[in-house]
Amino acid sequence: MKIALVGYGKMGHIIEEVAKSRGHQIVCTIDVDNPQDFESDAFKSADVAIEFTMPSSAYNNVKKAFAAGVKVVSGTTSWLPEHRDEMERLCAEGHTLFWSSNFSIGVYIFSAVNSYLAGIMDKFENYDVAMDEVHHCHKLDSPSGTAVTLAEGILARLSRKGSWANELAPLGEVESFKTPAQGDALQIFSYRHDEVPGIHTVRYESDADRIVITHDAKSRRGFALGAVMAAEY
């Protein structure tokens, strides 16, 4: 398979490594210094583009890929809700976009466990729920796209919560299991420090005990593998 990489930072390099190890060819890499290459023959020859960039540029990147006739796998968070209607229209017209807030297979499994647990906890109103997410200090969005997806999974199954609210801790503050405020909103506590690839924790608190489930990414490789598998699909 011929793959174009849109975004050639840390994730882009790891995706390149994983893709080559699975027998694929990288035909084009696009970053901030060569956006004109969306119009190149090399980019147009790609079977699919894998896009990991910034929320501010993802929409235009996808549109440029579509204009070149290239399918897109996008792992950039916090841009799709604003443009969902247009993306659905473009895909109905024949373009292809495979987007996820997190391509890690482990996170997919964790998400299923999270939804199942929320359904159980709906019967036990003495437990309040909160979420903690920890990422590297370069991450700009808060909460993470994965945290939002997990929160939506909880809200769909836990009737006593109707929305989520985010609190971003000062840069460098370490996860501390803050006490959630009682109320309708599911609280998400966000922490940014060091080079943490991503930790997501969902916890149910009562006066008697705490139930905790956690996904702790050891590296970015799991995200890269999932994105390449999505491109293969």
Classify residue 182 by burial, with Cβ atoms within 10 Å: 0-12, 13-18, 19+.
exposed
Active site residues: 135, 139
- What are the C-alpha distances in Å from 208 to residues 149, 181, 205, 228? 29, 17, 8, 44
Residues 80-94: b if buried by 16+ CB within 10 A, e if exposed? beeeeeebeebeeee
- Rounded-to-integer distance, Cα 24 and Cα 60, Å: 26
Hey, what are 186's tokens?
């599911």
